[in-house]
A and B are shown apart, each in its own frame.
Chain A
Amino acid sequence: MDLVIFSITAIIAIIGAVAMLVSRNAVHSALFLLLNLGAISVLFLLLQAPFLFAVQLIVYAGAIIVLFLFVVMLLGAERDEDGADPVRWQVPTAVVMAALLIGQVIYVFVTEPTATADSVNTNISEGFGSPTQIAQALFTTHLYHLKSPHSCCSLP
C-alpha cells in the first residue's frame, strides 16, 4: 500500500520538478514547484513526519510560493530569458555534470550492498514526529540553536 502511494507521489514530484525546469513561463514554473512541494509533503507524511508535513504546506505553499508569484507578477518578468544561451558550452557541460552526479548515486547503490539492503524502519514508535515530540526536542536539546540569535542580542 505504502509503495503504491510512494510511487504515485514520487512520479508527481518528478513531473512537477521537470515541468518547473522546462516551462518558459515563470508563473507556470512557480505553480509546478508548488505541485512538487505538495508531493514531497505527502512523502513526509509517509515518513512519519506529520508536523513537518504541516509546516511544509503552510510555509512553502502558503508563504514562499505566494511570495514568488507575487514578485513574478509585480515585476512582469514571466519571460525574461529569450534568445540563445550566451555561453555556448554551458548547457552540454551542465547536462553531462548532472548525469555524472546521478551516475555517482546509482554507482553507490550498485556497489554498496548495504545501501539497498535495509528498508525503512518498521519499528514504529508511538508519537514519533508529532508536534509534541518535536517541541520537546526543540526546546530542550536544541534550545541553544533556537535561542541563539535572541540570547546573543539580549545579554545582561
Chain B
Amino acid sequence: MSQISWLIALIPALPLVGFLVNAFLVRNERANGIIASASVLAAFAVTVAAVANLAMLEEDARRISVTLWEWIAVGKLNISIGLLFDPLTAVMTLLVTGVGALIHIFSISYMHHDTRPARYFAYLNLFVFSMLMLVMADNLLLLFLGWEGVGLCSFLLIGHWFERKNVAPGIVPSEAATKAFVVNRIGDAGLLLAMLLLVSRFGTLSFYGIDGVSGYLSQIAEGSFTFVNMGIFGSVAVISAVAMLMLLGVVGKSAQFPLFVWLPDAMAGPTPVSALIHAATMVTAGVYLIVRNHGIFDLAPDATWWVVTLGSLTALIGASAAVTQFDIKRVLAYSTISQLGFMIVAVGIGAYTAAIFHLLTHGLFKALLFLGSGAIIHGLHDVQDMRRMGGLRKSMPTVYRVYIIGALALAGIFPFAGFWSKDEIIAYAWYFNQNHTTAIMLIFSSLLTAFYMGRQVALTFEGESRDTDLHAHEHLGSMKWPLYLLAFGAIVGGILNIPGIHWLHDWLHPVLHEEVELFTWQMGIFAGITTILAAGSGYLGYWLYSRVLPDQIKSGEEDPAHYYLGDIWKGLELGWGIDYAYNRLIVKPYRHLAEFLHTVVDRQAIDGILVEGSARVMGRLAGFGAQGQNGNVRTYALVFLIGVVIVIGYVVIGA
C-alpha cells in the first residue's frame, strides 16, 4: 500500500483503538476523555494529511480505493473490507472527525462527574468509527455496517442515563433509545432490500469497483439496467425500486417525515451526543447515501419526486414544530429535522453540492447550538425548560455570544454560513429546477426557522430570570474552545462555496460532475429578499418574546400564543401528531395483538395444551408406571414371579 493508503486506513483505525482502550483498559474519567479526544483529534489530523495528499493528485485520479482484506466471497459476489477516499468522502470525513473531535473535547467537561465516563467515551469513539466506516466504505454492505453501527451507538448513547426515569420533558431515556432503534430499523429494512435488489441485478455492491467500471454505479452509468416484475403491481424499473428503497432507509436514518419521531425523543441523551449524532453527523448519513448514489436518483425521476415531497414536508413540519417547543433541546431537534428536510430537498432536485454544502455548514452551526445549549444546561444543572430561563445574557456572556452566532447562522442571515448554503438550495429550487411550490415551502420554513431562533434567544437570554431558584453560572472548562472554533466555523463556513469562488463545487466535481450554476443578479436580489424576510421574521420572534410577551411566560404554563391558536398550536407542539397517530394506529393495535397472542395463543394453546398438556399426559403415564415402583419388596417379588411364570410358560408351552 502506498503512503496515502496507510493514511486512509489509519483514519477509522484511530477511533477504533480509542474505543477498545476506553472500553477495556482505562477506568479513569480524565484519562477516558483525553484518550477519546486524542484519538479523534489524531484522526482529524490524519484526515487533513490524506486530503492534502488527495488534492495533489490529478482531478480524475482523485479516487483511492484501499482494499484491506476480503470479507465475503460467495460465488460471483465478492465483498471486501475496502475503503474509498474521494473528494466526497474527504469532505464527510473532515466533518466527522473535525466536529467529532470538538464535541469529544467539549464532553470532557460536560460529562465531568458522570457515573459511567468510560462507557460514554468508548461509545462516542465507536460512533465516530462507525460513521467513518459509513462514509469511507467502498461498497454498500460495508456502508450498511457503519449505518447499523451508528444506529447502535445512537441507541446506546441516548440510553446513557438509562437509570433516569424522567428527563425533561417527560421522556424516559431507555424508551427513547428503544424508539430510536426501532424506528431506524424500518428504514434499515429498506436499505437492506435495496442491497438485495442490487446484488440480484448487478452482482456487486461495490460503488465503482476496484477497476472503476465493475461497480453498480458504474454499470448504471453505462445504462445497463432492467425492470423488476412485481406481479399484480406491474413492473417497475430497477433503478426506481432501488431508489425508493434507499429513500426508505434515508427517511429512517435522516429523520424525515413520517419517521422523524425518534429524533425529538433522542434528546434524552447527553447534550454532546445530541450535537454529535443527532445534528452533525449520523442523521446526515441519509444525505450522504443519496449523494453517493446520485447516479441512481438521477435516473429515477419518480423516486426523486418523493424525495423532494418528503423533504419539503419535513422541512415545514420540523420548522413549525420547533416554533412551539419549550425544551431548549427539542427546539434544536425539530430544527435539525427541518434542516435535514432542506438537504433532502436539495438532493431531490439534483443540487448535490448544495446539499453537501448545507450538510457541512449545518454540521458546524448546529453542533455549535447544541453545545451552547449543553453549556446552558450544564450551567443550570440540568434545567432544559426555557420557561425557567431568561436573563442568561448577563450570567453567561460567552455562551450568549456564540449562541447568537449559531442562531444567526441557522436563521440564514448574511453573511453567516447558513445564509450561503440555505439560499443556494432555495435558489436552485426556484431557478434551475423551476419547482416554485417547493421553493416557497422552503422559504416559509426558513422564515419559521428565523422566528423560532429569535424566540429561543429571547426566551433564554433576554429579560430577567423567571425562576429564582436557578443560579446560573458559567463554568466552561474544556467546553470553551470547541464553542469558539465552531462559532468561527459558523461565521466563515460559507466561504467554502460562495458564488464566484465555489471551492466546494470544484472539489466535488470529480464525484458529482456538476457544472457550476451561473450566478445572476436576479439571484442576488432573490437572496436579498429572502434574507430580509428571514431577518424580519427572526426579529419578530425576538421582539415578541423579549418585549411583548415575556410577562405572560411562566414555568409550567402554555405559551401565550396558545391562547390565540389553540389546538393548532398544541398540534404543532406535538410534531403534527405523528407520534400520536403511530400510537393509535400501530402501537396500540400491536399491543392488543400481542396481548391476545400472549393470553390466548401462548398461555392457553401453547402453554396449556402443548406444554402443560403433554407434561400432564406424561405425568399420568409415569404415575401409572410408578405404581410398580412402590418400594414394596413384596411387589417386587410379585413382579419377579410374573417374570418366572412368563419364562416357564414360554419354555413349556411356547417352545
Give the residue name and chain of the A residue nearest to B649 (CB). Answer: A104
- What does the 1/0 interface line of A90-108 toward B look like (CB < 8 Å)? 1001100110110010011
Interface residues of B in 631-655 (CB under 8 A from A): 632, 634-635, 638, 641-642, 644-645, 648-649, 652-653
Contacts of A100 in B (CB 8 A): 645, 649
Contact A104 B652 (CB under 8 A): yes
CB distance from B361 to the nearest CB of A (A): 93
The DSSP consensus for interface residues of chain B is: helix
Residues of A within 8 A of B630 (CB): 87
Q: How many A-B pairs with Cβ below 8 Å?
A: 32
Q: Is the CB of A87 within 8 A of B634?
A: yes
How far apart sit A144 and B308, CA to CA, in the bound complex (Å)? 110
- Measured between beta carbons, the chain A residues less than 8 angstroms from B645 are 97, 100-101, 104
**What residues of B have a CB within 8 angstroms of the CB of A94 in the complex?**
638, 641
Given contacts A97-B641, A97-B645, A104-B645, contact A90 B635 (CB under 8 A): yes
CB of A93 within 8 A of CB of B638, answer yes
Give CA–CA (A97, B653) in the complex, Å. Answer: 16
Residue in B closest to A86 when the chains form the complex, CB atoms:
B632
Chain B, interface size category, equals 10 to 19
Min distance, Cβ B631 to any Cβ of chain A, angstroms: 10
Complex Cα gap A108–B653 (Å): 8
**Residues on the A chain within 8 Å of B652, using CB:** 104, 107-108
Q: Which residues of B contact A93 (CB under 8 A)?
A: 638, 642
Contact between chains at A87 and B635 (CB < 8 Å): yes
| Cα(A108)–Cα(B648), bound, Å | 11
Residues of A within 8 A of B649 (CB): 100, 104
* Contact A101/B648 with A87-B630, A107-B653 known, Cβ cut-off 8 Å: yes
Contact in complex: B632, A87 (CB < 8 Å): yes
Secondary structure call for the A interface: helix
Tell which of A86, A87, A97, A108 touches B642, judged by Cβ atoms closer than 8 Å.
Answer: A97
Docked complex: A91-143 residues within 8 A CB-CB of B:
93-94, 97-98, 100-101, 104, 107-108
Q: Which residue on A lies nearest to B648, using beta carbons? A: A104
A68 and B641 CA atoms in complex are apart in Å by 26
Interface string of A68-97 (1 = CB under 8 A from B): 000000000000000000110010011001
- CB-based contact A97/B648 at 8 Å: no
In the bound complex, residues from chain B placing their C-beta under 8 Å from that of A104 are 645, 648-649, 652-653
A115 CB to nearest chain B CB (Å): 11
Scoring A86, A98, A104 by chain B CB atoms within 10 A of each residue's CB, the highest score goes to A104
Query: CA of A100 to CA of B649 in the docked complex: distance in angstroms?
Result: 9
Nearest CB in chain B: distance from A107 CB, A: 6
Chain A residues positioned under 8 Å from B641 (CB to CB): 94, 97-98, 101
Q: Whole-angstrom distance between the alpha carbons of A100 and B644 in the complex?
A: 11
Contacts A104-B652, A107-B653; is A97 near B638 (CB within 8 Å)? Answer: yes
Q: Is the CB of B638 within 8 A of A90?
A: yes
Q: Which of B596-655 contact A (CB under 8 A)?
A: 630, 632, 634-635, 638, 641-642, 644-645, 648-649, 652-653
Query: By the criterion CB–CB under 8 Å, are A90 and B648 in contact?
Result: no
- Per the 8 Å Cβ criterion, residues 377-414 of B in contact with A are none
B residues at A contact (CB < 8 Å): 630, 632, 634-635, 638, 641-642, 644-645, 648-649, 652-653
Query: What are 20 A-B contacts with C-beta separation under 8 Å?
Result: A87-B630, A87-B632, A90-B632, A90-B634, A93-B638, A93-B642, A94-B641, A97-B638, A97-B642, A97-B645, A98-B641, A100-B645, A101-B644, A101-B645, A101-B648, A104-B645, A104-B648, A107-B652, A107-B653, A108-B652
The 4 closest A-B pairs by CB, nearest first: A100-B645, A97-B641, A104-B648, A108-B652
Binding site for B on A (CB under 8 A): 86-87, 90, 93-94, 97-98, 100-101, 104, 107-108
- A87-B632, A87-B634, A101-B645 are known contacts; what are 7 more A-B pairs with Cβ within 8 Å? A90-B635, A94-B638, A100-B649, A104-B645, A104-B648, A104-B649, A107-B652
